[in-house]
Structure 1
Amino acid sequence: MFGKIHEIYSSISGEGISQGVPTVFVRFAGCSLRCGKTESKSLWCDTPYALGPNQGETKTVSNIMDEIETLDKNHGYQILLTGGEPLEGKNRDLSITIAQTIFSYRTKHGKPYPTSRVETNGSEKITLDPFFIFTMDYKLPGSGMENRMDSENFQILEKRHNSLDEIKFVVRDRIDFERSIEVIREQKIQTNILYSPVHGEVDAKELVEWIKIDNPPKCRLSLQIHKVLWGNQKGV
């Protein structure tokens, strides 16, 4: 089994409830969404260099596990599968195999973080598998991708009932925020909720005020601390 991997590196988790945790990132290549791209506004994806399915290098599971081992010899880092999109096409089977391998080894040997976190864009169906934790985007109107969202994922998250799963709303404007509140109410969401502003389009302090007024359950502001520390660099 093999797939296209853009990069594998170690850093800290930059956002969400695992923010600050030492992490090995496995970045898959390929994503069919183009968030934020409209006639008048530009793409806002953090990793446009990984959107093409032919970006990166072809790697086997063995290649990937060897690189993770090199970066994390003591098997103590969180493993984060990201992209691109780790659940799209051939990436899905590769993600499952990586996560199963890590889960089996770390559970057997009593190592921390046995469950791999997956950052997924909301258009691909998530799973009930216990070897995954999900950070799932819900694309709001400002992304131009809301019609690509798989609404069944909300029911799967409810069945998973995992206290570490999270739903992320990236907010471009007030319309986006109001739509997020509608989605939370319509879907009766009880999962952890992250709010992130589109850089340069929404002031984070203004987003905080909106959050304070509506105060959805289990919600928090999520800023990308890796950008605060290193700027918009790759591999950090």
Structure 2
Amino acid sequence: MFGKIHEVYSSISGEGISQGIPTVFIRFAGCSLRCGKTETRALWCDTAYALGPNQGEEKSLETVWNELVTLDSHHGYQVLLTGGEPLEGKNRDLSVAIAKRIYEHRMNFGRPYPAPRVETNGSEQITDDSFFVFTMDYKLPGSGMEDRMNQENFRILEKRHNSLDEIKFVVRDRIDFDRSIEVIREQKIQTNILYSPVHGEVDAKELVEWIKVDNPPKCRLSLQIHKVLWGNQKGV
């Protein structure tokens, strides 16, 4: 079993409800979405360097497991599967396999963070498996990718009823924010909600004011503290 891996490294979680937790990142290569790119606006993806499948190295389950153990020999870090897109194509099979192994090992030995967190782009179907925790993007109109969103994921999140799952809205403008409110109401979302501004296109303080007025349930502003600490460096 193999998947395309761009990098494996340790740092802290930079955003969301797990922000600040020591984390091993397993970054997959390859994503079919191209968020934000229009004739007049630029691609906004933070990890454009991992969008193509050829930007990763084919690695086996055993290779990835050994890299994880090297970085976290005591199995005490959160593990985060990200991308690229960890649920796309054959990356999905490797994501399932590595998550199962981590979950079973940590449950057997009473280690923290047994279920790896998966950052997924919203186009791939998530699962009801207990060995995953999900941060699921919902792409708003400003991304140009809303028509690629898998609406069934809302039902799966509702069924999972996992207090650690989260839905992330990346907001480009007021149109995006208003659409997020519509989605929350239409889908009756009860999962944790993250709001993140597109850097350079909407001021985070302005987004805060919008959030204060509508106050969606279980919502929070999510800024990327890894960028505050290290800028746009890779592997941090």
Query: Helix, strand or coil for the counterpart of 2:157?
Result: helix
Q: Which residues of 2 match residues 32-43 of structure 1 at below 5 A?
A: 32-43=32-43
Deviations 1:180-232 (A, max 9, x none): 00000000000000000000000000000000000000000000000000000
Q: Do residues 132 (structure 1) and 136 (structure 2) align?
A: no
Q: Considering only aligned residues, what root-mean-square deviation do their CA atoms show, in Å? A: 0.3
Match of residue 165 from structure 1: 165
Q: Which amino acid aligns with 1:105?
A: H
Q: CA deviation at 1:56?
A: 1.6
Residue-by-residue CA offset, 1:47-70 (whole Å, 9 max, x unaligned): 000000111211100000000000
Could you say which residue in structure 2 is the equivalent of 1:55?
A: 55
1:70 match:
70
1:9-28 residue pairs with structure 2 within 5 A?
A: 9-28=9-28
Aligned counterparts of 2:56 and 2:125: Cα–Cα separation in 1: 24
Matches for 1:65-214 after TM superposition, within 5 Å:
65-214=65-214
Measure the CA separation in 2 of the matches of 1:58 and 1:121: 21
CA separation in 1, counterparts of 2:105 and 2:134?
20
- Tell me how far apart the structure 1 counterparts of residues 218 and 93 of structure 2 sit (CA, whole Å): 31
Gaps in structure 1 of 5+ consecutive residues: none
CA–CA distance in 1 between the matches of 2:215 and 2:232?
30
Distance in 1, matches of 2:46 and 2:53, equals 16
CA distance in 1, matches of 2:202, 2:55: 31
> What amino acid sits opposite 2:20 in the alignment?
G
Which residue type is aligned with residue 227 of structure 2? K
Q: 2:104 is paired with a residue of what secondary structure?
A: helix
**Which residue identity lines up with residue 13 of structure 1 in the other structure?**
S
SS in 2 for 1:169: strand
Q: Give the distance between the partners of 1:58 and 1:168, measured in 2 at CA.
A: 29
Q: How far apart in 2 are the matches of 1:85 and 1:102? A: 19
Shift of 1:9: 0.1
Post-superposition offset of 1:129: 0.3
Percent of matched pairs sharing the same residue? 82
Partner-residue secondary structure (3-state), 1:18: coil
CA–CA distance in 2 between the matches of 1:93 and 1:74? 25
Identify unmatched segments of 5+ residues in structure 2: none
Q: Deviations over 1:97-144 (max 9, x none)?
A: 000000000000000010000000000000000000000000000000
